[in-house]
Structure 1
Amino acid sequence: MKTKLFICLLAFSISSCNYLDHDESDFLEKEAVFSSFKYTSNFLTNIYSYVPAAFGTIGDDAMRSAACDEAIFVDNLSPVHSFNNGAWSAINTLDDKWDYFKGIRAVNMFLKETEGQEFEDLKHNEDYNDIMAQFKYYPYEARFLRAYFYFELAKRYGDIPLITTLLTEEEANLQKRTPFETIIQFIADECDAIAPHLPISYKELIKSETGRATRGAAMALKSRALLYAASPLFNPNNDIEKWKSAAKAAADVIDNAWDFGYMPLPDLWSLWNNNYTNNNELIFGVMQREDNWFERVNFPIGIEGGGSTGHCPTENLVEAYEMQESGLPVIPNAGYEHADPNYDPQNPYEGRDPRMYELVAQNGAWWVYDQQVECWYGGRSGKPQKNATVTGYYLRKYVDGSTSLKSEFVTSKRHVWNIMRYSEVLLNFAEAMMEAYGDPHYKEGYPISANEAVKIIRERTHVDMPGYPDNLTTEEFKAKLRNERRVELSFEDHRFWDIRRWKIADQTTDIYGVDITKNEDGSFNYQKVLVEKRIFKDCMYLYPIPQSEIYINPGLGQNPGW
């Protein structure tokens, strides 16, 4: 009997099919699938659907930001809290992405079955040349997705099986784990091989689409993969050549930034949600259908048509945003400069880095429905109300405040999740350069220096933060640079991984918020308070291999400590 295969006609944002399942009543013959351009295109679209947005990655609603020092998720029943209280294991897994191997298998099948395909039955169609112009990119897009899936697996589990051919189930269940370094080299080599064959953009092509893999996406993935490989978690002996390789990979993107359209950086207000069409620095992302789910989860309680609070940004993160005029920190233990003496802890939100106001809705901010956010004790969105913010802040980034949840007028908005954007590449470059050369102004053989890369980000329109002072020591510059990454990429699914690859997660377990009380004269008192003390063990730098997979294939073994 001929093999039959189910083709999911799905948008990018919904769940993937299990291609290992078979049902004679619902499946198409494999030969019919890959001889049809329509079904072949849909098959690739389904592979894209394995790429997740970070909205609701843990359980139904929580982001990984709530599993690090960026946020607390207000729903105590959410599984994300198991990350923080140590109640996860190889049996009780969280964020289990072993299923990426299904996406990898789909890619391997796609590459095998489409090799040499010319869709003979369409040769006499008027649009045949247009079809083949689209199809020529498909194998390279599929290889990009496979490389992306491998990176997502490797950063979680370390050593993993490397499978590049279509295996039987029996063969797959006998695979051994391949060293992390080999996986990263595979990713880098794949990115080098496919980048020249991918378009810079799809905007001017026959079928313009957002969200497909581009040349810049392949190059940026290589930059990220090599940065992780050079980091302390995976480079314990601090091999400087790995940092140089990471710097070179990021520099290759920077060299092409103007040609690829990533520069000049858009202004700060054009980065999120309904302004995605103006976000030219977006390299790779997931566009989600119009809905209001993220707003329902994260809108403040206490307002008409309010939400359920969701993610509460921490005081740890808010404190990381510097004073705009001086560029100085607001805390004395920042590790790079003394605290700004003009910072007033009883007027804490005045004169701060403008990026902070895009991150949080703080007490007194005018936001949803043009109402003022009241985070103080007794305020409409403050304690002691059920589900009120536990940190004194509400999440604003990615949350579209123009959405209406009022029963008489409910609206929806489109959201775009940034997976890669140019500012990350600049920060990758600056970090790798500092670790490789230790000089913020070194640029011999490179397009810019680490210091210049940071200036591009801080001088963005509507950010206008001062550059780094020249008198910082190497270690102070590195500390300030890590802080830059923290504030620029907040809630973009970097911090959770950064504190692991830097091996500092054990230093981030004290989670702070602010208690706010209102005085009779209308002023407020702000008191920093410890809200949560989390658990972190060394074994948690990597995920456990799911025990269910080890039962199937004992040869996988388990990561240390699990």
Structure 2
Amino acid sequence: MRTIKYTIIFIMASLLISCEDYLDKVQETEGLDQDDIFSDIRYVKDFFDGAYTHYLSEVSSVNQSPDILPGMTMSGEGYPGRKASPTPETYNFYAQGDYLSLMNRTNRADTSPLFVSRYYSAWKGIRIVNTFLEKADQIGNTTQEEIDNLKGQAYFLRASFYHFITKRHGGLVYLKQNLNINEPVTVERESYASNLADMLEDINLAIDLLPIEWPSENVGRPTKGVAMALKSRLTLFAASPLVNQSNNTQAWSDAATAASDLINFANDNGLYALANASAANTLDVDRDAVNFSAGADLLAPEPAVLEPYRSIFVGPGIQKTIPSEVIFMEANQKFFTYAGILNPTPRLSLTVGFDIVKFNQNPMNIGALANFIEKFETKNGLAIEDDPSYNPQDPFVNRDPRFYNAILFDGVKWTVTTSPKNTSGYADLAIVNEQGKFGADLDDPSRTTSPLIVYNLTGLRIRKWIPNGAYWISGNNGNFSYHVNNIIFRMPEVYLNYAEAVNEAYGPNGKASGGTLTAIEAINLLRNRVGMPNVDARYTGSKEAFRERIRNERAIELCFEGFRYDDIRRWKIAHLEENKKVEFLEMRWQGSETPTYPSGFSYENVEQTQLKKTFNDNNYWWPIPTSEIEAVPSFDQTEGW
């Protein structure tokens, strides 16, 4: 047998949530061949856990560095404020539809954008999983239960790796055995349908083999519920117009059943309970019509009645606990590591900007777009265009309570730091503020300071991933007693999956086979838990009308979590004008509060035509690197590239 030298590196801490010491352990074993490794379960576990280091979800980072072009920018949720040159360069590749240049980046393996790294990393993970599965039955010094638990994880990981890459690139080749590198490679590309069947086969095996819960020393590994969540996500993608071009009702029915199975499983086992922030319907986010004073919660950084919901995403203290509705999330026990690395980097340093990471080159300060926040309904449960009480010259009052968790707007009280930019104690995002100056949080075109400083460009910041009070001054000085949760699966996504699939298969008032909820009831469950009323009857009269409300609900509940880019792709609406345009919010102080300008500011959404994205038919499926085609000519490039 050919001898293969292995270096076994056990670095689970960067990937899975646990409180056990084993997650911080790093082991290296040199000079072992395959027979040595698979003769002892201890070596096998170390080898197998190497696959987790290649598990790059939409919220992961590479080598502790955040993605400089995440889904929230690609989807039209936001736009970055970092002024260093790589950002506009990379944005333009995407915005102009030049995905092939992105995939051909020479430093592709370990750098941003993350979807380039994900392509290569997934194949590495698949190779480790396949090697394990080929040798699993010869493992010594163990029990069948232990082997089955490892196999369950392996099948889950293989399906996950393929989902990461096939959802962007389409059908590839589903390797269940590793290719022999000493023989000519003549593999041909398979269809997405073929890959889907193999992914579902692996997921079903994982569901059968994985435990409902792990003992404490293994908490954080994928469970039966995690595998079911992946099945729900995957079947919904496969039922959507991008893949299901004939609108086969059976595909929607399968997706509805997958989501229903997980909902029933969770209820039967007391798992993944939704957060209860129903008291958020008492939020005081109005403005007095006489003296124009703001309600007590309108400018509060973290309103108390929203805490049960906000704690899903951020919270005080570096020690994490898994929120009740979270099914699976990454671990990052430390908030701060010196040398400019923030933990967890993917969401925090993408959205915080200058006031936490001073002069750091990684943070982006991605700001929300003005046209995106229009999707948040009013507190009355109506789209803003349907609610006569909505005033575009006072746009922040009386919105969906989730608005006050997700969006940081001008005037919100925010902890004062020693940052030389904004020491006012509130978000200052006006083109002309109360002092007649350019807002301290905005990028002033006349500035002469370093372009590496991170500014806001859009006039709106993302509050969802910023703990109020966290900041870095310099060195190890600052306040880091906070955590941010990098969530991969949480239960609201499953209810949204269920509602969408049921509506398409059976209509708004239908139920999945074995389901206990109608599509409408599933959406209302999510809304009511954050203090929102039921979906208004004007939006539930037909499958088509309710489809738009479900999509809007999904945009709000899952905003800035890495879903929307793939959502607008699978719905085949990414090419529509509304999803290509970029609008910033411009605020100007008008001298005083008046009936016309109740806050004292004027508000205008201004389209940034130079940032408008191009999206053609070929952009719905991504190309693979040109080097892949050169190495294996039989492996065709994605159609259209």
Q: d(CA) in 2 for partners of 1:161 and 1:510?
A: 36
Runs of 5+ in structure 2 lacking a partner? Answer: 16-28, 106-112, 277-308, 337-341, 418-424, 432-437, 448-452, 594-599
Query: Counterpart amino acid of 1:285?
Result: M
Give the aligned length.
Answer: 531
Runs of 5+ in structure 1 lacking a partner? Answer: 15-24, 121-128, 333-338
Distance 1:367 1:136, change over 3 A: farther
The alignment yields a C-alpha RMSD, in angstroms, of: 2.7
Q: What is the correspondence of 1:349-360 to structure 2 with a 5 Å cutoff?
A: 349-360=396-407
> SS state of the match for residue 529, structure 1?
strand
Distance 1:373 1:231, change over 3 A: same
Query: Counterpart amino acid of 1:312?
Result: G
1:394 corresponds to which residue?
461
- 1:232 deviation in Å? 0.6
1:101 corresponds to which residue?
123
Among 582, 585, 589, the alignment partner of 1:518 is: 589
CA contact (8 A) 2:405 2:464 kept: yes
1:82 corresponds to which residue?
93
Q: What is the correspondence of 1:427-466 to structure 2 with a 5 Å cutoff?
A: 427-442=496-511, 445-460=514-529, 463-466=530-533
Distance 1:113 1:152, change over 3 A: same
Q: d(CA) in 1 for partners of 2:42 and 2:569?
A: 42
Q: Does 1:151 align with 2:163?
A: yes
Among 259, 267, 288, the alignment partner of 2:332 is: 288
For each residue in 1:27-54, what CA deviation from the matched residue of structure 2 results, as whole angstroms up to 9, or x when unmatched? 4333333334333222222211212252
TM-score of the aligned structures, taking structure 1 as reference length: 0.88
Distance 1:264 1:282, change over 3 A: closer
- 1:450 deviation in Å? 0.5
CA contact (8 A) 2:231 2:258 kept: yes
CA contact (8 A) 1:55 1:61 kept: no
Q: d(CA) in 2 for partners of 1:114 and 1:67?
A: 41
Q: What is the correspondence of 1:1-400 to structure 2 with a 5 Å cutoff?
A: 2-13=3-14, 26-53=30-57, 54=59, 60-75=67-82, 77-78=86-87, 79-89=90-100, 92=104, 95-96=115-116, 97-99=118-120, 100-119=122-141, 136-170=148-182, 173-202=185-214, 205=215, 207-210=217-220, 212-267=221-276, 268-274=309-315, 277-292=321-336, 293=342, 294=345, 295-301=348-354, 309-324=364-379, 326-330=380-384, 332=385, 339-369=386-416, 371-377=425-431, 378-384=438-444, 387-400=454-467
For each residue in 1:242-294, what CA deviation from the matched residue of structure 2 results, as whole angstroms up to 9, or x when unmatched? 11111111111111122344453024122113475251211122122413424
> SS state of the match for residue 409, structure 1?
strand
2:283 corresponds to which residue?
none
Q: d(CA) in 2 for partners of 1:309 and 1:364?
A: 21
Q: d(CA) in 2 for partners of 1:291 and 1:260?
A: 33
CA contact (8 A) 1:68 1:496 kept: yes
CA contact (8 A) 2:74 2:565 kept: yes
Q: d(CA) in 2 for partners of 1:8 and 1:444?
A: 45
Q: d(CA) in 2 for partners of 1:289 and 1:278?
A: 12
CA contact (8 A) 2:589 2:602 kept: yes
Q: d(CA) in 2 for partners of 1:502 and 1:478?
A: 11
Q: d(CA) in 1 for partners of 2:466 and 2:356?
A: 15
Q: Which shifted more, 358-367 or 33-42?
A: 33-42
Q: d(CA) in 2 for partners of 1:158 and 1:513?
A: 34
Q: Which shifted more, 39-48 or 531-540?
A: 39-48
CA contact (8 A) 1:375 1:382 kept: yes
Q: d(CA) in 2 for partners of 1:137 and 1:304?
A: 41
Q: Does 1:559 align with 2:638?
A: yes
CA contact (8 A) 1:12 1:48 kept: no
Distance 1:44 1:368, change over 3 A: farther
> SS state of the match for residue 575, structure 2?
helix
Q: d(CA) in 1 for partners of 2:97 and 2:372?
A: 22
Q: d(CA) in 1 for partners of 2:547 and 2:181?
A: 47
- 1:299 deviation in Å? 2.3
Q: d(CA) in 2 for partners of 1:444 and 1:55?
A: 35
Distance 1:492 1:206, change over 3 A: closer
- 1:209 deviation in Å? 1.9
Distance 1:74 1:56, change over 3 A: farther
- 1:303 deviation in Å? 8.1
Distance 1:381 1:448, change over 3 A: same
> SS state of the match for residue 86, structure 1?
coil
Query: Counterpart amino acid of 1:374?
Result: D
TM-score of the aligned structures, taking structure 2 as reference length: 0.77
CA contact (8 A) 2:136 2:147 kept: no
CA contact (8 A) 1:300 1:381 kept: no
Distance 1:133 1:443, change over 3 A: closer
CA contact (8 A) 1:317 1:487 kept: no
Q: d(CA) in 1 for partners of 2:350 and 2:235?
A: 35
Determine which structure has greater relative contact order: mean sequence separation of CA pairs < 8 Å that are 6+ residues apart, divided by chain length: 2
CA contact (8 A) 2:382 2:536 kept: no
